[in-house]
Amino acid sequence: MPAGELPRDVLGQRFQNPVLLAAGTAGFGRELDGVMELDRLGGIVTKAVSLLPRAGNPPPRVAEFAGGMLNSVGLANPGLERVRSDELPWLARRLARARVIVNVVGFTVDEYGAVVGELDPLPGITAFELNLSCPNTSAGGIEFGADAATVERIVASCRRRTRIPIAVKLSPALPDIAAIAVVARDAGADAITVVNTMPGLLYHDPGARGSPRLGNGNGGVSGPPLLPVGVLAAARVVERTGGMPVIGVGGVRSADDVRQYLRVGAQLVAIGTAALADPRLPERIIRVLERGDG
């Protein structure tokens, strides 16, 4: 890809390159400041923000397996107030070129709109990304993104509260991810992010009937196994929505993996697990994309 094609005009902004840090794997950026050059990125997607602070799930929260990772962080975050007074102002001061996308989570339909509405007046937010892969506690724990009517209500309620672009992030476990993307588009979403982690479960010493490896029991699979899953989801969403902007995420470890997503029409590509293990990887990938080689 010639370097001149790297900048992307999407979500009403110019991204200097398509590479983002994925939600939940870069906190709110501070932990990575000094470890990597944050302003070299296309952007950073923050950790999920909920209305109230969340301590998250019991440890251990991550477990590695051959070729991938299982996590159950439980959406731990400092909550809306601190994110508004502290984390987002820090990011806005720190970044000149990299864009900020704020990942939002709710446990009821109304919580999403409430978080979006409260953060809307802050400067420096390029987009909200609604994490619809978490359980709806008032509907027996079924994930929000699995029910078209719920997706419609959440997106419409956020749309009423902000003019900032909205991306909807969906789970790869949905039976028809592109159909839900169309519902989100029709309710006012500007972009779709695919994919979130895939549900999974692993045990210690399974032969001896050991306990689950995560404190929470089950969790979400991330890393290389998600690459083909995410590329297919991105392709289907681009196709069925008639070319809606897509943020591809899942299993990216190299510039060629980024190109897999771009090949099917994704505009931006986020890196999660691989950057947890090697925080300088996103910068190296950007350099390779800029040079246009492998």
Ligand X SMILES: Cc1cc2nc3c(=O)[nH]c(=O)nc-3n(C[C@H](O)[C@H](O)[C@H](O)COP(=O)(O)O)c2cc1C
Binding site for ligand X (CB under 6 A): 22-25, 47-48, 69, 71, 73, 75, 103, 131, 169, 196-197, 222-223, 226, 249-252, 271-274
Are 248 and 2 a contacting pair, CB within 8 Å? no
Least spacing, CB of residue 36 vs ligand X, in Å: 16
246 forms bridges with which residues in the sheet? Answer: 192
The rounded distance, in Å, linking the Cα atoms of 251 and 273 is: 7
Q: How far is CA 96 from the centre of its chain?
A: 21
The rounded distance, in Å, linking the Cα atoms of 219 and 179 is: 25
The rounded distance, in Å, linking the Cα atoms of 293 and 138 is: 50
The residue from 51, 134, 275, 289 that is catalytic is: 134
Least spacing, CB of residue 208 vs ligand X, in Å: 28
User: In this structure, which amino acid lies at residue 36?
Assistant: M
Least spacing, CB of residue 137 vs ligand X, in Å: 17
Query: Tokens 């902007």 label which residue?
Result: 245
Measured CA angle at 98 (ends 94, 100), to 5 deg: 85
Least spacing, CB of residue 205 vs ligand X, in Å: 24
Are 176 and 186 a contacting pair, CB within 8 Å? no
Query: Which residues, other chains included, contact 97 with Cβ-Cβ below 8 Å and sequence gap of 6+?
Result: 16, 39
Least spacing, CB of residue 70 vs ligand X, in Å: 9
CB nearer ligand X, residue 14 or residue 197: 197
The rounded distance, in Å, linking the Cα atoms of 88 and 40 is: 18
Pairing of strands 99-104, 43-45: parallel
CB nearer ligand X, residue 181 or residue 274: 274
CB nearer ligand X, residue 72 or residue 241: 72
Q: Find the residue with minimal CB distance to ligand X.
A: 24
- Among this protein's residues, is 158 annotated catalytic? no
Query: Which residues, other chains included, contact 10 with Cβ-Cβ below 8 Å and sequence gap of 6+?
Result: 191, 245, 267, 268
Query: Quick one: tokens of 147?
Result: 């029910």
Query: Which residues, other chains included, contact 278 with Cβ-Cβ below 8 Å and sequence gap of 6+?
Result: none
Least spacing, CB of residue 243 vs ligand X, in Å: 22
Active site residues: 134
